[in-house]
C-alpha cells in the first residue's frame, strides 16, 4: 500500500502538472525534476509560509539572498573541501557505484553480486569553472548549503543593521550536491532548494535556543496541516553528526518509503564564525556593548528542504474517499498551501452569457488570490480534477445565475454547496481563506 501511494503521488504529479521528469523529451536527465503550473504554486506557497513565520512575523530575524557561487576559500574554511564526503564503492562487474553506508555487505554488489572495490571518499560538491579558461586556478563550487552565504555576511549585517543577540538570518535558495544515491522521486536530488535560518546566540543560551527552535520548527509543519502521526523528532547519534555540529535533532516524516529527514536543527556552536575569521583574517566576534565583552556567538541552525517538504505535504494531503459507487481522489492541502483557492466553472460551455460571466468572476477573484477559470470538461469531471489538485472552492455559474445573480459554491472538504450572490462572493471566499 505504501509503495502504491508513492506511485499514485508520482502519477498525479505528472498527470495534473505538479512535477515532471526533467528534460523528459530527451529521455530525461536522471533524478532531475521540473515543477509544473500547480507544483510551482504549491512550492511558492510553502516558501511564503516559511518566510512569513520566520522572517516577517519575528523581530529577531533578517532575510537574505546570497550568491550560489562563492570564493573558493569559503569551502576550505567551512570544512566542505576536507570533510564533505561520502564513502563509495564501485562494482567491478556492473560498474555501478554505491554509498558504503547503504551497503549491508561491503564486499558484494547488491545488484549483480559482483565484487566491490575498497570504499573511497567522494566529495559531494559540484565543481565548475569561473571565466572562459577551464584550469585549476579558476575552479569553484556550486554551494552545497545556503548557510555559508549567511556566515560570510555576518559582519555586513552587524555593520548595516546593528542587531543585538539573539538574532537570526534566513534565506531560501538552491543548493547542489553530487549525491551518489539520489532517488525516491524529489526526496534526494542533486539540485534542491533549502530554507535555512542561522540564529546567533550567546553560548550560554545555546541549549535553550536549540530546544525552542526544535519546537518551533516541528509545530510549523503541524500548523500547516501535516498529520501529527506522520511527524516525529529524532536525535542524531554522536557518530552521525556533521563535522560542524555539537548536536542535531531531525524532524522526520513518515514517507511511503519510511521515516526520513525533513529538516535538521543543529547546534553549530562557534565553528563557522571562528573558521571564517581565521581564513579571512577578519574579526567576526560580536561585541556586547553593555557587558563590554567580545565573543563568538553560537549558531543554532534550523535547515529544511523545500522539495522534501513539498513531497511530504503532497503525500500527507492525498486521500481517496468513497462517494457512492465512485472513488474521489482529493488533495486536502491547507488553505495556505493549496495551489488554487477557487475555480470558476461554467455549467454550460455552449452558453456565451454563462461563459462570459464565469470568466469575469474569475478575473475579479484573481486580483485577491489564485483563482482559475476552467471549462475543459463536464461539471463532474471539472470537480474531480479540482479535487485532485486541492482547489478549496469550486464556483459554478449556471442558467439560474443569469436570473438571480447567485452562484453555487462547493467546498472541497465538506462537499456542501451554497448559493452565494455574485456581489458577495469575493468577500465570502476571502473570509473562508483567512
Q: Give the nearest distance from C-beta 144 to ligand GAP in angstroms.
A: 7
Query: How far apart, in whole angstroms, are the C-alpha atoms of residue 139 and residue 131?
Result: 9
Q: Which of 100, 181 has the CB closer to ligand GAP?
A: 181
Residue 192 in the binding site for ligand GAP (CB under 6 A)? yes
Q: Give the nearest distance from C-beta 194 to ligand GAP in angstroms.
A: 5
Residue 78 in the binding site for ligand GAP (CB under 6 A)? no
* Buried/exposed code over 315-341 (b: 16+ C-beta within 10 A; e: otherwise): bbbbeeeeeeeeeeebbbbbbebbbbb
Q: Give the nearest distance from C-beta 176 to ligand GAP in angstroms.
A: 9
What count of Cα atoms within 13 Å lies in the side-chain half-sphere of residue 299?
Answer: 26
Closest CA to 390 of 7, 85, 62, 16: 16
Closest CA to 142 of 172, 170, 171, 177: 177
Query: How far apart, in whole angstroms, are the C-alpha atoms of residue 403 and residue 8?
Result: 43
Residues in contact with ligand GAP, shown as a per-residue x/- string from 218 to 257 under the rule CB under 6 A: ----------------------------------------
Query: The C-alpha cell of 377 is what?
Result: 470538461
Closest CA to 167 of 53, 63, 50: 63
Q: Give the nearest distance from C-beta 209 to ligand GAP in angstroms.
A: 16
Q: Give the nearest distance from C-beta 186 to ligand GAP in angstroms.
A: 7
Query: How far apart, in whole angstroms, are the C-alpha atoms of residue 391 and residue 385?
Result: 9
What's the residue count for the chain? Answer: 434
Residues in contact with ligand GAP, shown as a per-residue x/- string from 134 to 173 under the rule CB under 6 A: -----------x-x--------------------------
Q: Which of 263, 374 has the CB closer to ligand GAP?
A: 263
Residue nearest to ligand GAP (CB): 305
Residue 188 in the binding site for ligand GAP (CB under 6 A)? yes
Query: The C-alpha cell of 198 is what?
Result: 542561522
Residues 6 or more apart whose CB falls under 8 angstroms from that of 92 comprise: 114, 115, 116, 117
Q: Which of 188, 412 has the CB closer to ligand GAP?
A: 188
Q: Contacting ligand GAP (CB under 6 A), which of 41, 196, 272, 387?
A: 196
Query: The C-alpha cell of 175 is what?
Result: 543548493
Query: How far apart, in whole angstroms, are the C-alpha atoms of residue 116 and residue 98?
Result: 9
Q: How many helices (H) and strands (E) does the chain have?
A: 13, 23
Residue 305 in the binding site for ligand GAP (CB under 6 A)? yes
C-alpha dihedral over 11, 24, 258, 336, to 10 degrees? -70
Count, residues near ligand GAP per rule CB under 6 A = 19
Residue 307 in the binding site for ligand GAP (CB under 6 A)? yes
Q: Give the nearest distance from C-beta 402 to ligand GAP in angstroms.
A: 51
| Listed ranges 214-222, 260-268, 282-290, 396-404: which one lies at the site for ligand GAP (CB under 6 A) | 260-268
Coil, strand, or helix at residue 198? Answer: strand
Q: Give the nearest distance from C-beta 177 to ligand GAP in angstroms.
A: 5
Residue 264 in the binding site for ligand GAP (CB under 6 A)? yes
| Listed ranges 8-16, 215-223, 285-293, 304-312: which one lies at the site for ligand GAP (CB under 6 A) | 304-312
Residue 32 in the binding site for ligand GAP (CB under 6 A)? no
| Listed ranges 224-232, 270-278, 301-309, 424-432: which one lies at the site for ligand GAP (CB under 6 A) | 301-309
**Helix, strand, coil percentages, rounded to 5, for the chain:** 35, 30, 30
The site for ligand GAP (CB under 6 A) is made up of 145, 147, 177, 179, 188-189, 192, 194, 196, 261-264, 301, 303-305, 307-308
Amino acid at each position: 500500500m505504501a509503495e502504491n501511494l508513492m506511485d499514485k503521488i508520482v502519477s498525479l504529479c505528472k498527470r495534473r502538472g505538479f512535477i515532471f521528469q526533467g528534460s523528459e523529451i530527451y529521455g530525461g536527465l536522471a533524478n532531475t525534476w521540473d515543477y509544473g503550473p500547480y507544483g510551482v504554486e504549491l512550492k511558492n506557497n510553502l516558501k511564503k509560509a516559511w518566510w512569513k513565520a520566520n522572517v516577517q512575523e519575528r523581530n529577531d530575524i533578517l532575510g537574505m539572498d546570497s550568491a550560489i557561487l562563492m570564493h573558493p576559500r569559503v569551502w576550505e574554511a567551512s570544512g566542505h573541501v576536507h570533510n564533505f564526503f561520502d564513502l563509495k564503492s564501485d562494482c567491478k562487474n556492473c560498474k555501478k557505484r554505491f554509498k558504503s553506508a547503504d551497503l549491508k555487505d561491503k564486499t558484494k554488489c547488491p545488484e549483480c553480486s559482483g565484487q566491490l572495490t575498497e570504499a573511497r571518499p567522494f566529495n559531494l560538491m559540484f565543481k565548475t569553472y569561473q571565466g572562459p579558461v577551464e584550469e585549476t586556478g579558476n575552479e569553484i563550487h556550486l554551494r552545497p548549503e545556503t548557510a555559508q552565504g549567511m556566515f560570510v555576511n555576518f559582519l555586513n549585517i552587524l555593520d548595516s543593521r546593528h542587531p543585538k543577540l539573539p538574532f537570526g538570518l534566513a534565506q531560501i535558495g538552491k543548493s547542489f550536491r553530487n549525491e551518489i544515491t539520489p532517488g525516491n522521486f524529489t526526496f534526494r536530488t542533486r539540485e534542491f532548494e533549502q530554507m535555512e535560518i542561522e540564529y546567533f546566540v550567546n553560548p550560554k543560551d545555546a541549549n535553550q535556543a536549540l530546544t525552542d527552535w526544535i519546537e518551533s520548527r516541528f509545530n510549523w509543519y503541524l500548523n500547516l496541516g501535516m498529520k501529527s502521526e506522520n511527524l516525529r523528532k529524532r536525535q542524531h547519534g554522536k557518530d552521525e553528526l556533521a563535522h560542524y555540529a555539537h548536536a542535531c535533532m531531525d524532524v522526520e516524516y513518515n514517507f511511503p518509503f519510511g521515516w526520513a529527514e525533513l529538516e535538521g536543527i543543529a547546534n553549530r556552536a562557534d565553528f563557522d564564525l571562528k573558521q571564517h575569521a581565521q581564513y579571512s583574517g577578519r574579526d567576526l566576534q560580536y561585541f556586547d556593548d553593555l557587558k563590554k565583552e567580545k565573543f563568538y556567538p553560537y549558531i543554532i541552525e534550523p535547515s529544511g528542504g523545500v522539495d522534501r517538504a513539498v513531497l511530504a505535504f503532497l503525500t500527507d494531503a492525498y486521500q481517496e474517499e468513497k462517494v457512492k459507487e465512485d472513488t474521489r481522489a482529493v488533495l486536502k492541502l491547507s488553505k495556505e498551501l493549496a495551489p488554487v483557492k477557487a475555480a470558476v466553472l461554467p455549467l454550460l460551455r455552449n452558453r456565451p452569457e454563462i461563459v462570459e460571466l464565469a470568466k469575469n468572476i474569475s478575473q475579479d477573484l484573481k486580483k485577491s488570490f489564485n483563482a482559475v477559470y476552467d471549462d475543459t470538461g463536464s461539471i463532474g469531471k471539472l470537480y474531480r480534477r479540482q479535487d485532485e489538485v486541492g482547489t478549496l472552492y469550486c464556483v459554478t455559474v449556471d442558467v439560474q445565475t443569469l436570473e438571480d445573480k447567485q452562484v453555487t459554491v462547493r467546498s472541497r472538504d465538506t462537499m456542501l454547496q451554497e448559493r452565494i450572490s455574485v456581489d458577495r462572493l469575493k468577500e465570502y471566499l476571502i473570509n473562508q481563506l483567512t
